[in-house]
Amino acid sequence: MLAKKSEENRKTVAQDYLNKAKLFLEKIKNYEFSLETEKDLFILVEMEYYISMLKKHIDLFERRVIKGEVIAHSEKVFSIFETYTEWINKAKRNQNIELGKMLAITTDQYNLIIDYQNMENETNKGGACDIGTRILTKYGSIGSHSFDKGYYTKTNKELSSLFISKLIMTKKGKLNKAEHEEEHKKIFKKLRNKHSAVETNINKLEHRGLDRCPDRGYIGFKRYIGMCIQSS
């Protein structure tokens, strides 16, 4: 009984907040903007965008909180200022959810970054073959290549092993007999242990400015990433 009453109170407060948001939206829509200068036009364009964002989130709020709908991930906006921002779940123990953009980097045996890729609304699984192909095209051959566990799929491993003689792509979950033998070979474990060096490169990039991007817009974001990597 108490739980039901608490739910009713929550919806009452939410509906009150929603009504205020709708009134505010109508007030803004009926406001008359003066267009005397170029700056006024710029402000109007900005206002149109934020009005559209307000409409969208009123709809999302009403559907989720009042009607109890489950909102599809593709409909959610995690930043109205930088709309390319994504919800990042690294699926690691004691790892908080992060808002940002996935970036994949590849380093060589000298800990120099030789390749990077902005992940466009994809997980690591979508980029393994692209990374290998770019490096193979640029350098001609790959002696060994170690990937994070997140890159593993059966297809990724089969395709990558065609052009990488020593492929280190650890499988998530239970291993069969052949996989267990492969991942416990001396050379596999030796190359896998070297993989931890990439964490140093990631940490170095964060300390050189890649923990937060001050530029606005997705083009500015990609440009800033490129500049940080080139200067590292």
Residue 99 has φ and ψ, to the nearest 5°, of: -110, 125
Q: What count of Cα atoms within 13 Å lies in the side-chain half-sphere of residue 167?
A: 21
List pLDDT tens digits, range 84-134.
898 887 655 556 778 888 888 888 888 888 888 888 766 555 577 788 888
Whose CA is closest to 105, among 96, 94, 118? 118
pTM exceeding 0.75: no
Structure tokens at 47: 């206002």
List pLDDT tens digits, range 5-59.
677 888 889 999 999 999 999 988 888 777 778 888 888 888 899 999 999 999 9
* pLDDT given for residue 59 in this prediction: 94
List pLDDT tens digits, range 190-211.
888 887 777 787 888 888 778 8
Q: How far apart are the first and last CA of the chain?
A: 60
Q: If 0-12 CB within 10 Å is exposed, 13-18 middle and 19+ buried, where does residue 37 land?
A: exposed
Q: What is the dihedral angle through the alpha carbons of 110, 115, 116, 121, rounded to the nearest 10 degrees?
A: -130
Residue 223 has φ and ψ, to the nearest 5°, of: -65, -40
Residue spans of alpha helices (H) in 97-213 = 128-139, 154-160, 177-183, 186-194, 197-205
Query: Measured between alpha carbons, how far is 109 from 104 in angstroms, rounded to an integer?
Result: 17
